[in-house]
Structure 1
């Protein structure tokens, strides 16, 4: 019997199969985290535009967020503080809280050129990039769509998961982004989403694109370069379970078909439900800077699946 098509996002697992563990902090590193947290929880602190921190910004300034920036800053407290302040400013100016909305970026999404579907064996959400489905000319909104999807990846990260996988397929006459657009996206990733990339899995790289990667490589930090894998066998290599990866191109057992009118509202509903529940849990824990993501996710009861129906569990439809 043929596998039924899947049209909707896969609900995040309650717990990752094999969660990524980080080394325990040394005493010095613990003190560094506390020093950075103290800087931002000071009642007198305001970002550069002098407007007090909003609750959504305090929640973003979690215990784990501070550690991500400290690791990316080689455990230099002053550098981590500068980078966090720069990201706070960028998030406001870029419009993450008002301009870069689902409604604004939806025209970029209609062909399914970026799809959130499934989780690897470590619970990291999988973001598929399919350049052959490009439907718009290069613009600010294209990059905003990239950022919006990154934020949705974060919404779908299970408890204890802090990174994501990119699955990129350059088959079917894929149109490569320009050098300037690629640099802009890389800059955003490296400056404002440190420690968020788990793996970049890349298929069907033509020789012209090999040249492009050589041009862009000097602008990619060494840690990120080491996370790039070309033409991987994601199931045989033990990165994904078959049911968590697309059949098309990637050889999985998930026979996914993108239908925008089904997938898009389901993705928004799923992410909104999780954000609402986490925010309520965060507020119960005190609603302040430095609360652990692990705690406000743990404090959330198991979420109902807003996209499944009795006749179509886990997004499968006949």
Structure 2
């Protein structure tokens, strides 16, 4: 095969790959037509762009958020002393440091300073000594302030009522339902909460299949409902409807749970089976998926406000 023939073969392969790519994307999208579409969307508070810890149910990393109203960098404010840095603090040390700094600047501006009256050469040496003294005083004052404000609990033993590491406990419900998981949860998740997560899994899938947006509003956050509505609208424009049925939780465990302000979050890994098919609205003919149950693994995050019920706030594929 000469050079021109080889180039023609390369071009042919490139054309075939270009034609096959849309088909591959269509196949992958057909497999993930369920709520969430096999992607990642929603919000997890300040942990939206932090990967949930892996668990026995979902040992692989969850996909990063692709659709979220939370912007990268939006985090809970750091616990810093009021007033900002050292020079902004009132009191003796702040005034002393500011005074030395002001004296040094004035000395630099006017050519004088501590030894300003001893001649030009002495003024230069005086200015150097003065700057050195300012530096030493400021370093000493800052070190003193840091020691004074160091947290007293840095090396203390954990409190006697601290929650145990749930990841070290034995999974009490193997095989089906929720296990303990690998994440240590500052927020206690009780058996009733796990039952609620399992119920929401089925109810959300059913509401999605029925295109019942009003029902979805009672099960998920407004952000998640907006994404569901957008995807349902896209199906409607295509003239198809995604039907999900026979949802059964096979295994689930807790990845992490935490409090953030007045909200409580729980991220759980879910492995479940379902019948996922997309049919034509007019004829009912299956165009994607099948009647055969398939297994999928997702990571779902739920949020609860004071006095409220758990709501779905994020879905992340694995």
Per the normalisation by structure 1, the TM-score is 0.22
Structure with greater Cα Rg = 2
| TM score, norm. by length of structure 2 | 0.22
Higher helix share: 1
